[in-house]
Amino acid sequence: MPKSTFFKLAESKRKAFTHEAYKEFSLHSFEAASITNLVKSLGIAKGSVYQYFEDKNDLYHYLITDANRQMNQLLDKACVYNGEDFFDWYTKLLMVELKFLLSFPQFSLLFQKLKAESSIALKALWQQIEEARLNRITAHLPVALYHSPINNMQLASSAMLIFEMLSKGIDLNKLIEGNDPIYLESKELVAICSSWVEKLKHGL
């Protein structure tokens, strides 16, 4: 996690650092991501990074944790479960999560890269995130659905799967370089998520 010196930076400098770090790690695998490239884009000394973080791994874990925290805070606020029909609630959850991923493709690509990592430690990190997503959902899954054809892991990974489907043919690297979102009309978002949930009900 960041050292205290990171949080002592002026907000503008901290945001600039984080933005460029997200860009570097979302455009490359963990192994290929370069601290040298990061400091070059920021115009700072390489030693500055190590004043803020212990090492590259520490910085990477902070980015993953921060991206996941931002998404969870949004879901906690926008998708409170109030005893309504499970699938109505889940459809809303899916729409909010997917809109977040489309709005911040750098986070989406960062998660995709993490999911594809081969090291045991990074696989464990991704599994931890997936299990937390699954627990959020299955906590409200009706008992009657426990033995249904529904694939629980697909409930947890649906937003990422839809994002991957929608982003095919899009130059995500260019979007991230320009800090641009992927635009999707609200009607399309509702239609895509509703259709997806109907398929999930029958064991997609």
Which amino acid type is present at position 65? Answer: T
Which amino acid type is present at position 156? Answer: A
Which amino acid type is present at position 44? Answer: I
Among 26-30, 84-88, 140-144, the minimum mean pLDDT is found in 140-144
pTM over 0.95: no
Name the nearest CA neighbour of 25 among 113, 91, 105, 103.
Answer: 113
Angle at 189 between CA 169 and CA 126, to 5 degrees: 65
pLDDT in tens, 157-204: 999 999 999 999 899 888 888 889 999 999 999 999 999 999 888 765
pLDDT in tens, 47-103: 999 999 999 999 999 999 999 999 999 999 999 999 999 999 999 999 999 999 999
Segment holding 55, helix H or strand E: none
Under 8 Å between Cβ of 141 and 86: yes
pLDDT of residue 8: 93
pLDDT of residue 149: 59
Q: Please name each of the domains of the chain with its CATH number.
A: 4-201 (1.10.357.10)
DSSP conformation letters of 118-135: -SHHHHHHHHHHHHHHHH
125: CB partners within 8 A, 6+ apart? 61, 64, 114
